[in-house]
Homo-oligomer: A and B are copies of this chain.
Amino acid sequence: MKQVKVGIIGFGTVGAGVAECLLKNGELLAARTGVKPVLAAVADLDITTDRGVALPAGVLTQEVNRVLEDPAIEIVVELVGGTTVAKEFILRALRAGKAVVTANKALLAKFGGELFAAAEKGGADLYYEASVGGGIPIIKALREGLAANRFHAIIGILNGTCNYILTRMEQEGAPFAEVLKAAQAAGYAEANPALDVDGIDTAHKATILASLAFGEWFRLEQMHVEGIREVALQDIQYAATLGYRIKLLAIIREAGGQVQLRVHPALIPARSLLGTVDGVFNAVLVNGEPVGTTLYYGRGAGRDATASAVVADILDVGRNLAGGSRRRIPAFRHHRAFQDVLPASEIRSRYYLRFQVQDRPGVLALIAGVFGQHSISIASVTQKEAAAPSVPIVILTHEAREADMQAALAELRGFEEVTEKPVLLRIEELP
Q: Is B312 a contact partner of A290 (Cβ separation < 8 A)?
A: no
The residue from B25, B147, B294 contacting A315, defined by CB atoms under 8 A apart: B147
The answer to whether B298 touches A293, judged by C-beta atoms less than 8 angstroms apart, is yes
A313 to chain B, nearest CB (A): 9
Residues of the B chain whose Cβ atoms lie less than 8 Å from the Cβ of A315: 144, 147-148
Residue in A148, A294, A309 with the greatest tally of chain B CB atoms within 10 Å: A148
A329: chain B residues at CB < 8 Å are: 319
A3 CB within 8 Å of chain B: no
CB proximity of A137 to chain B, nearest CB, Å: 3
Partner of A323, one of B148, B150, B272, B328: B328
Q: Answer yes or no: A149 CB below 8 A from chain B CBs.
A: yes
Q: How far is the CB of A6 from chain B (nearest CB, A)?
A: 12
A167 to chain B, nearest CB (A): 13
Residues of A in contact with B, size category:
35 or more
Which residues of chain B are within 8 angstroms of A325 by Cβ–Cβ distance? 320, 323-325, 328
Which residue of B has the minimal Cβ distance to A137?
B145
Interface: A81 (CB within 8 A):
no
Q: Would you list which residues of chain A between 38 and 93 have a CB under 8 Å from chain B?
A: none
Task: Check B308 against A146 for contact (C-beta < 8 Å).
Answer: yes
A32 to B150: give the CA distance in the assembly, Å: 11
Interface residues of A in 194-219 (CB under 8 A from B): 215
1/0 contact trace for A19-32 toward B, CB 8 Å?
Answer: 01100010011011
A296 within 8 A of B: yes
Residues of B contacting A293 in the complex (Cβ-Cβ under 8 angstroms) = 298-299
User: Is A135 interfacial (CB-CB < 8 Å)?
Assistant: yes
CB distance from A334 to the nearest CB of B (A): 8
Which chain B residues border A328 with CB–CB below 8 Å? Answer: 319-320, 323, 325, 328
Is the CB–CB distance between A297 and B298 below 8 Å? Answer: no
B290 close to A21 (CB less than 8 A): yes
Tell me the complex Cα distance, A335–B33, Å: 9
Interface residue A129 (Cβ < 8 Å from any Cβ of B)? yes
CB of A242 within 8 A of chain B?
A: no
Q: Nearest Cβ distance between residue A364 and chain B, in whole angstroms?
A: 36
Binary interface encoding of chain A residues 260-294 relative to chain B, with 1 for a CB under 8 A from any of its CBs, else 0 = 00000000000111001100000000001111111
Does A117 interact with chain B (Cβ within 8 Å)?
Answer: no
Q: State in angstroms the CA–CA spacing of A193 and B337 once bound together.
A: 42
Of all chain B residues, the one with the shortest Cβ separation from A295 is B297
Minimal Cβ-Cβ distance residue in B for A136 = B294
Query: What are 13 inter-chain pairs, A to B, with CB distance below 8 A?
Result: A20-B290, A28-B337, A31-B215, A137-B140, A148-B311, A148-B315, A273-B276, A290-B304, A290-B308, A291-B298, A294-B298, A295-B295, A324-B325
